[in-house]
């Protein structure tokens, strides 16, 4: 298989995974970008400054504002003044946000489970090793 074919195949499979994930997120009322922000905040185990969250998400700081606006409006996060630097804003995950993070994590798991159901356990392990090797290269 040529590299171009492999790239196209990986792209199609990734799109199917994302579609399955989005399909499961819609009833929860969040989109993938919002779910990523919730995951970053939950993984941090502490409030993050807006600029730190943008770094975690690998987006420019101004792009994180509408994500946080929507999450705040839904009661999933709240903004607080950073006591260490009053010019900075911290994003705090609420209890509802923690619960939504768990539901979105389960939606992601289910999407992956559905997509990879056609593979045996050994094939899944092999695919994980292969993709892990590629990911490690570009870390």
Q: What is the pLDDT of the chain when averaged over all its residues?
A: 95
The structure's pTM equals: 0.87
DSSP-derived letter for residue 46 is S
DSSP-derived letter for residue 81 is E
| Domain residue ranges in the chain | 13-133
- 68-93 pLDDT, tens per residue? 999 999 999 999 999 988 888 999 99
> Can you give the pLDDT at residue 3?
86
Q: Which residue has the tokens 């695919």?
A: 127
DSSP-derived letter for residue 91 is E
- Do 19 and 108 touch, CB atoms closer than 8 A? no
> Can you give the pLDDT at residue 2?
86
- What is the band of 1 on the pLDDT scale with cuts at 50, 70, 90? low
Cα–Cα distance for residue pair 68/34, rounded to 1 Å = 8
> Can you give the pLDDT at residue 139?
67
Q: What is the mean pLDDT of residues 96-125?
A: 97
- 47-59 pLDDT, tens per residue? 999 999 999 999 9
* Architecture of the domain made up of 13-133: Orthogonal Bundle (1.10)
Cα–Cα distance for residue pair 74/78, rounded to 1 Å = 10
- Closest of 11, 22, 34, 30 to residue 111, by C-alpha: 22
Task: List Cβ neighbours of 55 (8 Å cut-off, separation of 6 or more).
Answer: none
């Amino acid at each position: 298989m040529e590299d171009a074919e492999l790239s196209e195949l990986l792209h199609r499979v990734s799109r199917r995974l994302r579609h399955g994930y989005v399909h499961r997120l819609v009833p929860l009322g969040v989109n993938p970008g919002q779910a990523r922000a919730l995951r970053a905040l939950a993984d941090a185990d502490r409030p993050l400054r807006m600029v730190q969250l943008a770094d975690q998400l690998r987006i420019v700081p101004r792009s994180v504002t509408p994500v946080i606006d929507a999450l705040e409006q839904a009661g999933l996060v709240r903004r607080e003044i950073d006591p260490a630097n009053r010019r900075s804003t911290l994003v705090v995950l609420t209890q509802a946000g923690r619960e939504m993070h768990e539901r979105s994590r389960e939606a992601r798991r289910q999407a992956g489970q559905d997509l990879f159901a056609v593979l045996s356990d050994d094939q899944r392990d092999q695919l994980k090793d292969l993709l892990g090797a590629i990911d490690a290269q570009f870390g």
